[in-house]
Structure 1
Amino acid sequence: MSSFTLNGYGGLIMLGAATTLLVALAATAIGSVIGVLMAAAKLSPSSVLSHIAGAYTTSIRGVPDLLVIFLVYYGGSSTLSHVLGSPIEINAFTAGAVSLGLVFGAYATEIFRGAILEVPRGQIEAASALGLSASGTFVHVVAPQAWRLALPAFGNQLTVLLKETALVSIVGLEDLMRRTGFAVEGTNRPFFFYLVAGVLYFVLSYAMTNAFGMAGRKTATTLAR
């Protein structure tokens, strides 16, 4: 019975796994929005917007993810406290979602930009000849095809993001890694509990990979029709 309940830490570890999944999903939402906006900026005729997007992706991808987490967690609290004139502390979940969202967004930018560029130019010209507006062409012609092309790389990057959530435990987020650490301290069984954590990360990653594989096949089927 003790092994089945993981020495009483089973519920705690499952809560940690849920927190890991939630912060990954929040970061994905933030990063996806950033990725779309920055990809549009990179492809825009405005050199200012293009340079801003380029500076963002280059700087974020050029520093360790852990440094981004520290900058958001500590720098964000200091900035908000200064602006609002009272002590403000960003909680670990918010800092983790925002910082990992910034990191994810930098990679998503290049994924979306590359996918949009892969859409045949002739289809865009044909849509324009049929009288579709620029926004209509993007929504009905470019976006569906670009999403299908971006899906494999997007799914792979999301799997990477899921594993990177472990870094946020350093600033106090009680995710899977941190709660596993509590179990290790309470039982002095590091190998067993870190193995359990590894299995849970694998299960989450495997489920995510399969979900994106199914989405990719469904999208391909829909477009083929």
Structure 2
Amino acid sequence: MNDFLHSHGWQALSLQGFGPLLLQGTWMTLKLALLSLGLSLALGLFGASAKLSRLKLLRVPATLYTTLIRSVPDLVLILLIFYTLQLWLNDLTEMLGWDYFEIDPFTAGVITLGFIYGAYFTENFRGAILSVPAGQLEAATAYGLSKAQRFRLVLFPQLMRFALPGLGNNWLVLLKSTALVSIIGLADLVKAAQNAGKTTNNTLYFLIIAGLVYLLITTLSNRLFKHLERRYNTGIKGLAR
């Protein structure tokens, strides 16, 4: 009896032998989400600056970018961008006489998700920048601060206070959207759960495990964003709690 409990208990703890596979999938999902977040933040800051620019050459493309991306479902965009990138790369290598090169699913996933959610972060940052009192930037200019100093010392700390709630929400949506990248062959957490489920004929069990992992990540993410909100709201009455 003890041998039976020991063997089956260990099997449950090791997730029927698929624990390492799910762990690798979790790590792949985290890498994909974090790198996509970095690209999204960079595109968001650039896009917000472009939309607020006086130059029509910058403002119009940025507006088209955010409008189109937010109007098309993520799954359609993932497939469209993935295959379009590959076609463009094929044309480029053929034109230059290079060997055929195929974009791997991870790189394609980072570029695709970063490009998609860059549009959402653009609107997030644009609203936050508009919320910063213009008088403070004018005062910083009067004190002789350079553009870089105004951004680092005056604009960025304040825009983060207004942007963080939206950034947190967009991060959670981006994290969940990593599951869509499995459709182009990435061995992420969802793909690992599906493979384990098919092999053991117990798909529901492994999908629940994957859901619990996502729940754990989102819970830790929420705590991190709450900490950042308290930090950037320091000194603001009623907010730094």
Quickly name the TM-score band, shorter chain normalised: over 0.9
Between 72-81 and 153-162, report the one with greater CA deviation.
72-81
State whether residues 23 and 165 of structure 1, in contact with CA within 8 Å, keep that contact through their aligned partners in structure 2: yes
**Aligned equivalents of 1:133, 1:179: Cα separation in 2:** 50
**Aligned equivalents of 1:110, 1:73: Cα separation in 2:** 24
1:62 CA displacement: 1.0
CA RMSD of aligned residues (A): 1.4
1:12 alignment counterpart:
21
1:56 alignment counterpart:
65
State whether residues 78 and 88 of structure 1, in contact with CA within 8 Å, keep that contact through their aligned partners in structure 2: no
Letter in 2 for 1:193: F
Between 78-87 and 45-54, report the one with greater CA deviation.
78-87
2:184 alignment counterpart:
171
Query: What does residue range 108-187 of structure 1 map to in structure 2 within 5 Å?
Result: 108-187=121-200
Letter in 1 for 2:88: T
The one of 81, 92, 97 aligned to 2:90: 81
1:219 CA displacement: 2.3
State whether residues 119 and 142 of structure 1, in contact with CA within 8 Å, keep that contact through their aligned partners in structure 2: yes
2:218 alignment counterpart:
205
**SS of alignment partner, residue 172 of structure 2:** helix
Letter in 2 for 1:170: I
**Aligned equivalents of 2:14, 2:147: Cα separation in 1:** 57
**1:216 and 2:229 aligned:** yes
**Aligned equivalents of 2:67, 2:225: Cα separation in 1:** 27
Letter in 1 for 2:23: M
**Aligned equivalents of 2:11, 2:172: Cα separation in 1:** 32
Query: What percentage of aligned pairs have identical amino acids?
Result: 42
1:131 CA displacement: 2.2
State whether residues 100 and 161 of structure 1, in contact with CA within 8 Å, keep that contact through their aligned partners in structure 2: yes
What are the superposed Cα offsets for residues 41-72 of structure 1, whole Å, 9 maximum, x if unpaired? 01111012100100000111111111221122
**SS of alignment partner, residue 64 of structure 2:** helix
What are the superposed Cα offsets for residues 122-178 of structure 1, whole Å, 9 maximum, x if unpaired? 211221222223332222111110012111110110011000000000000000000
What TM-score do the two structures reach when normalised by structure 1?
0.95
**Aligned equivalents of 1:98, 1:209: Cα separation in 2:** 25
**SS of alignment partner, residue 12 of structure 2:** coil
**Aligned equivalents of 1:99, 1:56: Cα separation in 2:** 14
**1:194 and 2:207 aligned:** yes
Question: Unpaired segments of 5 or more residues in structure 2?
Answer: 1-9
State whether residues 124 and 142 of structure 1, in contact with CA within 8 Å, keep that contact through their aligned partners in structure 2: yes
What TM-score do the two structures reach when normalised by structure 2?
0.89
State whether residues 156 and 209 of structure 1, in contact with CA within 8 Å, keep that contact through their aligned partners in structure 2: no
Greater radius of gyration (CA): 2
**Aligned equivalents of 1:82, 1:129: Cα separation in 2:** 52
**1:72 and 2:85 aligned:** no
Letter in 2 for 1:163: K
The one of 43, 52, 69 aligned to 1:43: 52
Question: Unpaired segments of 5 or more residues in structure 1?
Answer: none
**SS of alignment partner, residue 3 of structure 1:** helix
Q: How many residues align?
A: 224
